[in-house]
Amino acid sequence: MPFNHKHTFKVRHYECDAHNHLNHANYLRYMQESMLEASAAVGYDIGRYETLGTVWLPQQIDIEYLGAVLYSETVEVTTWVGDLEGARAHHHHECRSLSTGDLVARADTAWIYCDRQTHQPIATPDAMIPALLPDAPMPAPTPHKDPPTPPPPPTPFVMERRVEWRDTDQDGHVNDAAFLNYFVECVIAASAAVGWPVARTLGAGFGFVARRHHMIHHQRAVIGDVLRIESYISNVRRSSARRHYMITRARDNAPIMEGFSIWMFVNMETGRLTRIPEDAHADFAATIAEAHA
């Protein structure tokens, strides 16, 4: 594979949120598309994988947001393979605003090479490895040092979400970008449940802005599945908090995904971090987990 693969995307109006920023999930969509383009550029497009009877399935995704991109701006996504061994490959992604040159998002993703029918891992063919790996090693991002996940409090927030057609991808599974939207829907619903709907939050002059999302797959969710999302908060700081998610299939409690997000509290007028209001902290208290001793 070339040293790295670059692909540009112009931000469309329908890709932005109510703040006129590129929606969190769409950064991930750009990265996924760039990864497909990178693979196709070295001879492994979707058609070839279909002929081989194989597919790359996501195992873990960690995406970090470092800046905002607005409507009509152009984002350049750089993608490269960090390592590839057995059935597992690590991809790294960087998103830059072409107007400023600033790094606005980055992600590390782990993928498993699987049989398309059984979804069982299989070894990557020898001929594929030199094609997908870069000609020369590129530096791997420094891994995050995350604190241990605390057990949930006695009263975590719980909601259900039925998988819709629009949530699924070409393999018939819920796409990772859709899972990110589930995370955001959960945050909005959990906040409303303790008296902080979006209107009140914005009326108080602050908003929740994602700094990072982390996802680990356990099983695939498909159309018609009803998913149970259990969520709670930990690691509350002056201007940030970590929200955890456990997604299970409602009918049999099978684990689907676990993950967390780091949310920053921002003054919507100045764009700067702001202290979490005391009344908001008190209202969320029942869903905040105690840290490990």
pLDDT the model gives residue 143: 83
Statement: 1-145 belongs to CATH 3.40.190.10: no
- The structure's pTM equals 0.94
Residue 241 has pLDDT above 80, yes or no: yes
pLDDT the model gives residue 53: 96
Where are the strands (E) in the chain, listed by range? 5-10, 54-65, 74-85, 88-97, 103-115, 157-162, 206-217, 226-234, 240-249, 255-267
Nearest alpha-carbon partner for 268 in 222, 207, 219: 207
Give the pLDDT confidence of 170-196 residue by residue, as tens digits.
Answer: 889 999 999 999 999 999 999 999 999
148-293, CATH topology level:
Thiol Ester Dehydrase; Chain A (3.10.129)
Band (pLDDT 50/70/90 cuts) for residue 293 is very low
Contact 289, 150 (CB under 8 A): yes
Nearest alpha-carbon partner for 190 in 268, 284, 255, 275: 284
Residue 193 burial (10 A CB sphere; 0-12, 13-18, 19+): middle
Could you state, in order of their start, the residue ranges of all structural domains in the chain? 1-145, 148-293
pLDDT the model gives residue 138: 67
Helix axes 24-41, 176-193, angle to 10 degrees: 170
Band (pLDDT 50/70/90 cuts) for residue 290 is confident
Equal fold, 1-145 vs 148-293: yes
| Better pLDDT: 140 or 292 | 140
Band (pLDDT 50/70/90 cuts) for residue 251 is very high
Give the pLDDT confidence of 106-160 residue by residue, as tens digits.
Answer: 999 999 999 999 999 999 998 888 888 867 666 677 888 999 999 999 999 999 9
Residues in the chain: 293
Give the pLDDT confidence of 195-236 residue by residue, as tens digits.
Answer: 999 999 999 999 999 999 999 999 999 999 999 999 999 999
The per-residue b/e assignment along 240-254, b for 16 or more CB within 10 angstroms, e otherwise, is bbbbbbbbbbeeeee
pLDDT the model gives residue 137: 64
Which letter does DSSP use for residue 18 in this model? T
Residue 273 has pLDDT above 90, yes or no: yes
